[in-house]
Amino acid sequence: MLSSLRTFGKSGLKQAKKGPSMCFSPPLVTVSFYSINNTHKHLNFDKPAGSPKFHLTKGFMITPNNLVTQCLLNVLCEMPKTSPLPKIITLSPIGVTRSSRAKVPFLLKPFYGYLISHALQDKLASERVIFHCAGWEWNTAVDGEPAEDIPGKGWVNREGLPTPGSLKDSAMIVRAALLTDGEEKGVYKAGAGEVSGWKVSRRDVAHFIVDAVTNKWEEFGGRQVSIAY
């Protein structure tokens, strides 16, 4: 499992070289499946959506703008619905919502609020999908709703989408600080809700996910968590 998660780190480096808007998190969905016999399958949607382009008033933009959300919706609609349900782990950047952006270091606020705000909309929509299927409370008043064209009109009624609340205990959203290609330290800040920090290596994100899934699901599973140095 750890070796396949390391693939995420390597692919992330390749994509980070394509432009600044890729550095916060590559356009992928990390999905962990556990079947009844505990067989693990790890799927990476890590094909770049194209080189980011800079727009003076919108920051860096990626086309298509809904790759992560559509991949996630497809997986959720097609995954096995038998008990026990698969564990679903999705990766987002810190600062993806307005409320979480308030927790990022002050000097990084323009990065999240302007430079990569367009790309964050895809991550925001993917989180909204997980919140819906898990039945977690979404703060619409503060965080708003994703643009309709990202998840698609009527996405809540897509055939096969898990019913609200069905993923309550089997989903986990990991919000990571700026991803680097640094070494695995095995020492980082991680916890439920928001964790403030500047960066974290992809290897340590992989380390955290493995540890959370295999050893600490009672602590981290069924909620949104964050990780940073």
* Residue 193 to residues 8, 11, 175, Cα–Cα distance (Å): 23, 27, 9
- What pLDDT sits at residue 206? 94
Picking from 171, 177, 203, the residue whose alpha carbon sits closest to that of residue 190 is: 177
> 155-195 pLDDT, tens per residue?
999 999 999 999 999 999 999 999 999 999 999 999 999 99
SS3 76: helix
As given in the structure block, the two tokens for residue 171 are: 């989903």
Q: Are strands 59-61 and 53-55 parallel, antiparallel or unpaired?
A: antiparallel
Number of helical H runs and strand E runs in the chain: 8, 10
**In this structure, what CATH number is given to the domain that contains residue 135?**
3.40.50
Higher pLDDT, 94 or 63: 94
Which residue type occupies 190? Answer: A
- For the chain, how many structural domains are there in total? 1
The boundaries of the domain holding residue 81 are 2-228
Mean pLDDT of 118-145: 95
Among 75-84, 98-107, 116-125, 219-228, the range of highest mean pLDDT = 219-228
Q: How confident is the model at residue 7 (pLDDT cuts 50, 70, 90)?
A: very low
- How far is it, in rounded angstroms, from Cα 76 to Cα 80? 9
- How far is it, in rounded angstroms, from Cα 139 to Cα 137? 6
pTM for the model stands at 0.80
Q: Return the half-sphere exposure (C-beta side, CA atoms, 13 A cut-off) of residue 195.
A: 21
